[in-house]
Structure formats: structure tokens, C-alpha cells
Amino acid sequence: MKRFETYSSEETRTLGKDLAKTLSPGAILALVGDLGCGKTAFVKGIVDAFGDGEEVTSPTFTLVNEYDGTTPIYHFDVYRLEHPSVEECDWMDDYFFSDGICLIEWADNIREVLPDNTLRITFSKNPEKGEDYREITVC
């Protein structure tokens, strides 16, 4: 497991951009952490690395947004899918088994359908270390 600490959303974004260099096409990242912990900030960094400069917005209603760049990025936010059946998630396989990179906010909501090679990134706050502190782990 790797562990990082950031003290601003910009730092979290930069961390995403740096980690992007270690990702190959087909990578799947489960982004796990409470509301406002920095998952989307991290996605912005990955899109900085691979995307075409498009602005990242949360796919809360569309469930997935695509960013075309050197490697396609599929940004999921499955917050609204609380207890989906496996059938309801069938359409996701086209993305999971593609040559793009899948970034999935609230991935624990769809834990059962995530491929085995999914990388888990956790985001957490620690009030003792200040409002802008985030601990980010990769495993």
C-alpha cells in the first residue's frame, strides 16, 4: 500500500496527475471516500495527464462521462446506485474491458461487479490535521 497526504485540492489534483503516469490502458480505479473528500479533484488530475483539456464535471446523473485524449478516460460516479443488481450494471462491462482508464467514484456501491484487477484508492479526512488535509492510499 502507498500512502499520501495532501493539504489542498490542487495538491490532490497534482497527485492524480502524477499517479496517472503509472497507469496503463485498461486500468480501473475504485475511488472510495466520503462526500467532499477529493475524489473528483483526483480525477481532474488524471484527466490533466491524458485528456484533451476538457473540464471535468461530476457524472452524477449520467453515471459516466467520457474524456477523449491520448487514452480515453471513463469517469463514473455511482453514488445514486445504492444497491444495484448485477444486471443493472451489465452495461459497465463495455467500459471495464476496454482500452480506456475507468475512474469510479463511490465504487463500493458496485463492488460485486468490479473486475479483480481494480486498484483501490481511498480518500479520508482527519479533523485533527485541518480542514484541507486528506489522506490518500493506493492499493
Ligand X SMILES: Nc1ncnc2c1ncn2[C@@H]1O[C@H](COP(=O)(O)OP(=O)(O)OP(=O)(O)O)[C@@H](O)[C@H]1O
Q: In the 3-class helix/strand/coil scheme, how is the chain assigned residue by residue? A: CEEEEECCHHHHHHHHHHHHCCCCCCCEEEEEECCCCCHHHHHHHHHHHHCCCCCCCCCCCCCEEEECCCCCEEEEECCCCCCCCCHHHHHHHHHHCCCCEEEEECHHHHHHHCCCCCEEEEEECCHHHCCCCEEEEEC
User: Using the rule CB under 6 A, is 36 a contact of ligand X?
Assistant: yes
Query: What sign for the dihedral angle of Cα 111, 135, 130, 126?
Result: positive
Residue 91 contact partner, candidates ligand X, Mg ion, none, CB within 5 to 8 A by sort of partner: none
Least distance (Å) between residue 87 CB and ligand X: 25
Which residue, 76 or 96, has its beta carbon nearer to ligand X? 76
- Interface pick for ligand X out of 41, 56, 104, 121 (rule CB under 6 A): 41
- Using CB under 6 A, count the residues that bind ligand X: 19
User: Using the rule CB under 5 A, is 39 a contact of Mg ion?
Assistant: yes
At position 60, the amino acid (one-letter code) is: T
Least distance (Å) between residue 36 CB and ligand X: 4
Which residue, 58 or 98, has its beta carbon nearer to ligand X? 58
Which residue, 10 or 90, has its beta carbon nearer to ligand X? 10
Contacts with ligand X by CB under 6 A lie at 6-9, 11-12, 33, 35-41, 58, 105, 123, 132, 134
Contacts with Mg ion by CB under 5 A lie at 39-40, 58, 105
